[in-house]
Amino acid sequence: MSSLLIGSIGVGLLLAAFALNLTKCLSESSPVYLVMNVTGASAAAWYAYDGGVIPFVILELVWALTALVRLILVTKKGSLA
């Protein structure tokens, strides 16, 4: 799979998650929303890395890690209830 396709899918996931959140179809604590953010930001980071755009690699990795931590917390909280 080409880097451009991976990056495009990643950005598409991020935009879709954002739009679904704005339209109140997904909440910010929804596991689906968070998985879309982790996956999308990771794919966008890969694309940025492949293109040598380090500031965007850092941005996207922080985004992915933040969403991953939130996903873990939401999942743990849900399993305790």
What tokens appear for 41 in the block? Answer: 């930001």
> For position 79, what pLDDT does the model report?
67
> For position 80, what pLDDT does the model report?
55
- Based on its alpha-carbon atoms, the radius of gyration of the chain, rounded to whole angstroms, reads 13
The structural domains of the chain, with segments of one domain joined by +, span 3-80
> For position 59, what pLDDT does the model report?
98
pLDDT tens string 31-77: 999 999 999 999 999 999 999 999 999 999 999 999 999 999 999 98
Band (78; pLDDT cuts 50, 70, 90): confident
User: Is-contact 5 43, C-beta < 8 A?
Assistant: no
d(CA 62, CA 45): 10
What tokens appear for 9 in the block? Answer: 């899918």
pTM, rounded to two decimals: 0.91
